[in-house]
Amino acid sequence: MTRDEGRGRVALVTGAGSGIGLATAGVLAARGWRVVLADLNIAAARAAAETLGAEAVALDVTDAAATEAVFADVEARLGPLEALVANAGLIQPGDPPERLALEEFDRVIAVNLRGVYVSCVAAGRRMAARGRGGIVVTGSITASRTAPLHAYAPSKAAAVHMAACLAAEWGRSGVRVNAVSPGYVATPPVQAAIERGLRDPALLAEASALGRMVRPEEIGAAVAFLLSEDAAAITGINLPVDAGWLAGAHLATYGGLRPAR
């Protein structure tokens, strides 16, 4: 597709104040979408939106009534919403389950699963009524493999599966729903963990087939593809964008990933 593939159509990105959401908003804006950056941290969203020449709105995805009001307001001011990137999410401490507070578990599920569902329904019902639209849910490679993240990983697995369920529900109404599952990306939480000595960037890179971490804008490019006409026949999938982490993870039992030839 050309760089004007968005053609001024409206796209809303949740959790767009930083990290993958911000990078995705930037990619979409560069490709001609009229982007709305939605985030609980409205100051961060506004600062980013000003840089991108985009809109910013405050949004708590766990509040169904507020989410509905935000989507109604966006459409009233900007026109029909043609794309949603349901990206807002929380990470969690890597505590063992016996030390993971249930309040923390509930908080992660409320944002990463319920919040994604609330956002998808607010957008999807409008899109289905018009007979067109696209939704991309941010999953994770932890949706496909075990991880010591006993709220986050199950929440992402559920969100990925939910995207497939919604694709089957709304496909005949012209709405495509897909998921992207990022690998290890140098987002602020990951970078903070590296700086605190909790994660080793060399190990994160070594675990992938490409031998590196993923750049945030590479997730944005995958999202833009799934929302584009080039992906018009694609719905209900989960697209890993992980530098080959899933492909190479099992090779430890064969001596590790193969070196460059």
- 191 inside domain: no
d(CA 134, CA 162): 15
Helix (H) or strand (E) holding 138, with range, is: strand 133-138
In the set 117, 152, 184, 254, the catalytic residue is 152
- 253 inside domain: no
First to last CA, the chain: 34
- 50 inside domain: yes
Q: Are residues 245 and 207 in contact, defined by beta-carbon separation less than 8 angstroms? A: yes
Amino acid at 59: L
- 202 inside domain: no
- 124 inside domain: yes
pTM (predicted TM-score)? 0.94
Active-site annotation holds for 254: no
Residues in the chain: 261
Cα–Cα distances in angstroms (integers) from residue 123 to residues 82, 98, 166, 188, in the given order: 9, 37, 12, 28
In the prediction, which pLDDT does 3 show?
Answer: 61
Instruction: State the residue range of the domain holding 229.
Output: 10-184+216-245
Residue 178, helix vs strand vs coil = strand
In the prediction, which pLDDT does 1 show?
Answer: 44
d(CA 234, CA 65): 31
CATH of the domain at 60: 3.40.50.720
Q: Are residues 20 and 86 in contact, defined by beta-carbon separation less than 8 angstroms? A: no
- 207 inside domain: no
In the prediction, which pLDDT does 63 show?
Answer: 98
- 141 inside domain: yes
- 44 inside domain: yes
Q: How many structural domains are present in the chain?
A: 1
Low-confidence ranges of the chain (pLDDT < 50): 1-2
Q: Are residues 20 and 85 in contact, defined by beta-carbon separation less than 8 angstroms? A: no
